[in-house]
A = this chain, B = another copy of it.
Amino acid sequence: MGIIKEDAKKIIHSSIQRVLSDSAVKRALEGKSFSGKVVVIAIGKAAWNMANAAAEILGDDIEKGIVLTKYHHSQGPIKNFTVLEASHPLPDEKTITGTEVIIEAVSDLSPEDTVIFLVSGGGSALFEKPAGNLGLKDLLEVTDQLLKCGADIVEMNTIRKHLSAVKGGKFAALCAPAQVYTIALSDILGDRPDSIASGPTCPDLSTCKDAFAIVEKYGLSLTEEMKQQLFVETPKEVLNNTMLITGSVNELCIAAASEAKALGYEPLILSTFVDCEAKEAGRFLAAIGKTIQKDGFPLKAPCAIICGGETVVRITGKGKGGRNQELALSAAASITGMDNIVIGAVGSDGTDGPTDAAGALVDGYTKETLDEAGISIVDILAENDSNRALAITDALVMTGPTGTNVNDLYFLLCK
């Protein structure tokens, strides 16, 4: 069992290495040269790491650089960059002033100039300026209404893109006539470019008509100025942007599969869209493990079943844990007593929920250890207290914050 767990740890390490924000940016920029002025704009939770990597690669070619990231997410000065921080997940005044600094930096550029736009998760909240005469208060007010009425994320973004001066392709327009080269780390399942950070440099698929339908559907209460902004169509075509998604859950899974194969496990990537309840995803993976061991479907052991995604947790208790830890703990209950099987779930950002673990690795003995300690997995899950139980069984995976976020890796190894 020791060896299979060691293999699992190698798979986690290799796959996260592949999607680290700095290596992703370096891969994207290596060997590239730009003719005119180069302005680097980095937004999102990984902005500092991405900007720092760009500074290393491009060095003095950078005319100017600005980082706008979450409070406490920058790690010091970067050459000639301005490093700014603001609030997440809800924007504050620093968001608006930071965004204005960025807009200022990309105005007055020429057609031969390039804006290198480095985007990561959290960018939707961290990069924002209300359209027209709207203010931060208006945006927060609408967001609050949307959250309370139960609008889904597509609906929320449709409204927000229309009320923003930078989202939904509008930032690319502000950069014109310069060219934009967008390098994105995707934390959006399916990697839809207009969804990553609300697509500041991408054509927007949502229309004014869609926005008004949502207003009507939920009976949103809007000011006259808000309504006026909803009438302004977002860009449906963006000609000055080149987009490269360089880190995504897809790459995370492919890297995991490649490491698994190198270690002697036949890999199968099952899905990169897993979005169901964490503990049920754990049971589903366990059910596949049982079938592998009983009948050799979908593969004969040694094999690795690999998934990526972002599961959800239904909060019913007051414990400490995260979606990856819940997935693993739930899987542990299902594979109890089985040999030669390990199930792992880790967040590529290295932090799972409000804990210092990235996730967990469980095997057929995890439940037994908990039973001996008098701990019931059913009770622990009802309390959302997975962290404590997994700590006791030495099942936590600790990577520290990785500075990237392309969602989670879920996998099963059978030997």
Contact = CB atoms under 8 A, between A and B. Distances in A.
A244 B59 CA distance: 73
A290 B307 CA distance: 12
A190 B280 contact: no
B268 A298 contact: yes
Interface string A273-299: 111110011011011101100110110
Contacts of A288: 270-271, 273
Given A277-B277, A290-B190, A272 B297 contact: yes
Contact of A287 (B271, B290, B334): B271
Nearest to A191: B294
Contacts of A272: 291, 294-295, 297
A28 interface: no
This protein's copies in its complex: 2
Contact of A294 (B190, B275, B294, B298): B190
Contacts of A275: 283, 287, 334
A166 B369 CA distance: 35
A87 B237 CA distance: 68
Contacts of A281: 276, 280, 284
Nearest to A292: B271
A309 interface: yes
A250 B280 contact: no
A300 B269 CA distance: 12
A270 B283 contact: no
Nearest to A281: B284
A80 B307 CA distance: 57
B270 A276 contact: no
Interface of A: 190, 250, 253, 268-277, 280-281, 283-284, 286-288, 290-291, 294-295, 297-298, 307, 309, 334
5 contacts: A270-B270, A273-B287, A275-B287, A275-B334, A276-B280
